[in-house]
């Protein structure tokens, strides 16, 4: 069994296979290689359309089980559409599918700077922040009992999740009769929530980076990339995070600027820079790319900042805590309330993010 959220395991009981199949279909759809579960006799991943068909069929069986309508083969779509439990079970299963893939998807897109936590409905999220400072020695005398007193205090940050809604309108008859694929519907709902949560979390992260001190000797935010600037900030972040090695993080477009200050270097066509678009290790520091995210609110725009290189120490503590509260909730209208027999459904997911760490970070604006 692959790793699944506890609320999905409790929801599925002994019928966990369909949720594993959906996770495999979701990863395959978005090209996340290395996470596929189902293969053909030749060892190749099953065709995407085959997986979609299998997931759709499995979802309908799971819906029938939850609604206790054990045999739907002889029932018409019109009859099923009037069954209140079948209607509830349809979107309960879709919500469970969203919860199946959401935590891992968010870790994949934001995990370099975000710690993803999952809690139950109504749970509170509070994080104790330990001081990063050491106890500094003071000079003393042979006849003096105590030196200067040092005292540290822990802080606490509370993350308050908020509901985020996706309201869609579908023809319930088409869904029940197989004209609209349930697997694709669930996949798009999950991806929509993941994309918005990623955008919101990156917004929290980017706002924190923009507020870094940029005055005097405590410089953590600079404009313009140079090799000296990069190495200086990486050294500073490493040293002040207790020796935890700094890494450079950014989009591929931003990271391609990390190059030696030398006008005489040349790229070979089979070099690492040409193949992947950036150098994976520079000046003894690792370089890691953030996957860009489509900002679906504005056509053809991207959500992540291509003009910044962030210098972090992930092993010292992730800067952002992203908290997912409870299961995805569905609010389903009565199918007969609309003259055209369409149905409005709202899927609600509660999440929130905040800066919760004592670790330091730096940023270079290109």
Express each pLDDT in 168-219 by its tens digit: 776 666 665 666 777 888 888 888 888 899 999 999 998 888 887 654 445 8
Instruction: For residue 28, name the pLDDT band (cuts at 50, 70, 90).
Output: confident
- DSSP character string of 224-270: S--HHHHHHHHHHHHHHTTTPPPEEEE-HHHHTT---S-TT----TT
307 band by pLDDT with thresholds 50, 70 and 90: very high
Confidence of residue 227 (pLDDT cuts 50, 70, 90): very high
Instruction: Enter the tokens of residue 201.
Output: 């979390």
State how far the Cα of 69 lies from the Cα of 55, in Å rounded to an integer: 19
Q: Mean pLDDT, to the nearest integer, of 162-170? A: 82
Question: What does the pLDDT average to over 246-250?
Answer: 94
**Alpha carbons 76 and 187: distance in angstroms, whole number:** 26
Cα dihedral 24→29→32→35 (10° resolution):
10
pLDDT above 70: residue 134: yes
Residue 43 vs residue 246, higher pLDDT: 246
pLDDT (mean) for 236-265: 89
Distances (CA, A) of 259 to 184, 233, 287: 42, 15, 11
Give CA–CA dist 235/231, Å, rounded: 6
Cβ atoms of 310 and 250 closer than 8 Å: yes
User: What pLDDT does 172 receive?
Assistant: 61
Whether the Cβ atoms of residue 169 and residue 270 lie closer than 8 Å to each other: no
Q: What is the spatial distance between Cα 115 and Cα 322, in angstroms, rounded to a whole number?
A: 6
Higher-pLDDT residue of 344, 251: 251
Domain boundaries of the chain, sorted by first residue: 6-128+156-204+321-352, 212-318+357-365
Do 276 and 315 touch, CB atoms closer than 8 A? no
Per-position b or e across 61-93, b if 16+ CB within 10 A of its CB: ebbbbbbebeebeeeebeebbebeebbebbbbb
């Amino acid at each position: 069994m692959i790793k699944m959220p506890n609320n999905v395991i409790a929801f599925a009981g002994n019928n966990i296979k369909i949720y594993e199949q959906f996770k495999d279909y979701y990863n395959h759809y978005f090209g996340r290689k290395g996470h596929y579960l189902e293969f053909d006799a030749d060892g190749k991943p099953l065709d995407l359309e085959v997986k979609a068909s299998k997931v759709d069929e499995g979802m309908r069986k799971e819906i029938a089980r939850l609604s206790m309508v054990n045999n739907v083969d002889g029932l018409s779509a019109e009859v099923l559409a009037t069954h209140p439990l079948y209607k509830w079970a349809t979107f309960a299963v879709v919500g469970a599918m969203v919860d199946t893939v959401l935590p891992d998807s968010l870790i994949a897109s934001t995990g370099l700077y975000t710690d993803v936590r999952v809690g139950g409905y109504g749970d509170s999220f509070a994080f104790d922040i330990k001081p990063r400072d050491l106890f500094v020695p003071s000079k003393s005398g042979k006849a003096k009992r105590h030196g200067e007193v040092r005292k540290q205090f822990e802080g606490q940050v509370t993350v308050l999740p908020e509901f985020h809604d996706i309201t869609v309108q579908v023809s319930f008859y088409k869904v029940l009769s197989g004209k609209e694929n349930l697997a694709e519907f669930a996949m798009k709902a999950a991806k929509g929530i993941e994309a918005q949560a990623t955008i919101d979390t990156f917004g929290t992260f980017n706002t924190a980076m923009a507020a870094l001190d940029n005055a005097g000797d405590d410089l953590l935010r600079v404009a313009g990339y140079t090799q000296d600037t990069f190495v200086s900030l990486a050294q500073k972040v490493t040293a002040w995070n207790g020796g935890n090695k700094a890494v450079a993080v950014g989009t591929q477009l931003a990271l391609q600027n990390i190059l030696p200050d030398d006008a005489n270097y040349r790229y070979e066509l089979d070099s690492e820079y040409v193949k992947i678009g950036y150098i994976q290790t520079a000046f003894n520091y690792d370089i890691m790319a953030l996957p860009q995210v489509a900002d679906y609110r504005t056509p053809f725009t991207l959500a992540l900042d291509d003009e910044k290189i962030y210098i972090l120490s992930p092993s010292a503590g992730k800067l952002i805590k992203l908290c997912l509260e409870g299961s995805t909730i569905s609010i389903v209208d009565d199918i007969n309330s609309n003259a055209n027999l369409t149905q409005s459904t709202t899927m609600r997911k509660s999440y929130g993010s905040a800066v919760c760490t004592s670790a330091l970070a730096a940023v270079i604006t290109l």
